[in-house]
A and B are shown apart, each in its own frame.
Chain A
Amino acid sequence: MKISFPIMGNSYLAFKQLVKDIGHEPIVAPLPTARTMSLGTMYAPEFACIPFKIMLGTYLEAIEKGAEVIVASGGHGPCRAGYYGVLHQKIIQDLGYDTKIIVFDSIAKTYKEFISKLKWLLKTGQTSWWQFLKAFRPAWAKLKALDEIEILSYHVRPYEINTGETTRVYRKCLQLMDEPITPSDIKEAGEVCVQMLRNIPQDKSRKPLKIGIIGEIYVLIEPFANLDIQATLGEMGVYTERAMHLFHWIKENTKLSRHEKKVIKLAQPYLRQMIGGHGINSIGETVMFAERGFDGVIQLAPFSCIPEIVAKGILPQVSHDQEISVMTIFLDEMMGKAGMQTRLEAFVDLLLQRREHRLAEAL
Chain B
Amino acid sequence: MTQLKIGFPRTLFYFLYYPFWYTFFTELGCEVVTSLPTTKYSLDLGVEETVNDACLPIKLYHGHVAELKEQVDVLFMPRMVKVRKMETEVFCPKFLGLPDMVRNSIADLPRIIDEKVDLSKGLFPKWDLCRKVAEQLEKRGFIVWQAYRQAQKCQDKFKQYLVQGIEVQEAIDAVIEGRICHESKQFTTDIDLAILGYPYLIYDSFVNVGLFEKLGHMGIKPWTVEMVPPHRLEAQAKYLPKSLFWYFSNRTIRATFYYLHEKKVDGIVHVTAFGCGPDAMVDKLMELEAKHSGPIPFLTLSLDEQTGEAGIFTRIEAFVDMLRLRRKNDENIFSHHG
Given contacts A78-B93, A78-B96, A309-B53, contact A47 B276 (CB under 8 A): yes
A232, chain B: closest CB distance, angstroms: 23
Contacting pair A79 B93 (CB below 8 A): yes
Contacting pair B242 A86 (CB below 8 A): yes
Contacting pair B51 A312 (CB below 8 A): yes
Which of B253-305 touch A at CB < 8 Å? 274-281, 283-285, 288, 291
Contacting pair A307 B93 (CB below 8 A): yes
Complex-state Cα separation, A48 to B281, whole angstroms:
7
Contacting pair A45 B280 (CB below 8 A): yes
Which of B65-80 touch A at CB < 8 Å? 79
Contacting pair B284 A91 (CB below 8 A): yes
Contacting pair B88 A275 (CB below 8 A): no
Q: Tell yes or no: A347 within 8 A of B by CB.
A: no
Q: Tell yes or no: B245 within 8 A of A by CB.
A: yes
Contacting pair B53 A80 (CB below 8 A): no
Q: How many residues from B make CB contacts under 8 Å with A?
A: 39
Q: Tell yes or no: A30 within 8 A of B by CB.
A: no
Contacting pair B284 A87 (CB below 8 A): yes
Q: Tell yes or no: B87 within 8 A of A by CB.
A: yes
Q: Tell yes or no: B101 within 8 A of A by CB.
A: yes
Complex-state Cα separation, A222 to B15, whole angstroms:
42
List of B residues within 8 angstroms of A83 by Cβ: 242, 244-245, 281
List of B residues within 8 angstroms of A313 by Cβ: 50-51, 54, 97, 100-101, 104-105
> Which residue of chain A has the shortest Cβ distance to B275 in the bound complex?
A304
Q: How many residues from A make CB contacts under 8 Å with B?
A: 43
> Which residue of chain B has the shortest Cβ distance to A283 in the bound complex?
B100
Complex-state Cα separation, A304 to B278, whole angstroms:
10
List of B residues within 8 angstroms of A316 by Cβ: 104-105
Contacting pair A275 B288 (CB below 8 A): no
Contacting pair A45 B284 (CB below 8 A): yes
Q: Tell yes or no: B131 within 8 A of A by CB.
A: no
List of B residues within 8 angstroms of A310 by Cβ: 93-94, 96-97, 100-101
Contacting pair A273 B81 (CB below 8 A): yes
Complex-state Cα separation, A229 to B91, whole angstroms:
33
Given contacts A271-B97, A313-B51, contact A80 B277 (CB under 8 A): yes
List of B residues within 8 angstroms of A78 by Cβ: 90-93, 96, 245-246
Complex-state Cα separation, A153 to B277, whole angstroms:
35
Contacting pair B90 A306 (CB below 8 A): no
- The residue among A82, A109, A303, A304 with the most chain B CB atoms within 10 A of its own CB is A304
- The residue among B246, B277, B284 with the most chain A CB atoms within 10 A of its own CB is B277
Which of A170-202 touch B at CB < 8 Å? none
Given contacts A94-B288, A272-B100, contact A80 B281 (CB under 8 A): yes
List of A residues within 8 angstroms of B50 by Cβ: 313
Q: Tell yes or no: B338 within 8 A of A by CB.
A: no
Q: Tell yes or no: A46 within 8 A of B by CB.
A: yes
> Which residue of chain B has the shortest Cβ distance to A82 in the bound complex?
B245
> Which residue of chain B has the shortest Cβ distance to A273 in the bound complex?
B96
Contacting pair A277 B281 (CB below 8 A): no
Q: Tell yes or no: B322 within 8 A of A by CB.
A: no
> Which residue of chain A has the shortest Cβ distance to B50 in the bound complex?
A313
Q: Tell yes or no: A77 within 8 A of B by CB.
A: yes
Contacting pair A309 B94 (CB below 8 A): yes
Contacting pair B94 A46 (CB below 8 A): no
Given contacts A275-B96, A277-B93, contact A317 B104 (CB under 8 A): yes
Q: Tell yes or no: B240 within 8 A of A by CB.
A: yes
Complex-state Cα separation, A271 to B50, whole angstroms:
16
Q: Tell yes or no: B116 within 8 A of A by CB.
A: yes
Q: Tell yes or no: B141 within 8 A of A by CB.
A: no
Complex-state Cα separation, A285 to B93, whole angstroms:
19
> Which residue of chain B has the shortest Cβ distance to A277 in the bound complex?
B93
- A-to-B contact residues, CB < 8 Å: 44-49, 76-80, 82-83, 85-87, 90-91, 94, 109, 270-277, 279, 303-307, 309-314, 316-317, 330
5 more A-B contacts (CB under 8 A) besides A87-B284, A87-B285? Answer: A48-B280, A80-B278, A303-B53, A304-B280, A317-B104
* Top 10 A-B pairs, shortest CB-CB distance: A77-B245, A313-B51, A310-B97, A47-B280, A306-B277, A45-B284, A275-B93, A317-B104, A313-B101, A306-B93
Ordered by A's residue number, 29 sampled pairs between the chains whose C-beta atoms are within 8 Å are A44-B284, A45-B280, A45-B283, A47-B275, A47-B280, A48-B281, A76-B88, A76-B245, A77-B245, A78-B93, A78-B245, A79-B93, A80-B280, A83-B242, A83-B244, A86-B240, A87-B285, A94-B288, A270-B104, A274-B96, A275-B96, A276-B245, A279-B97, A304-B275, A306-B92, A310-B96, A314-B101, A314-B104, A316-B105
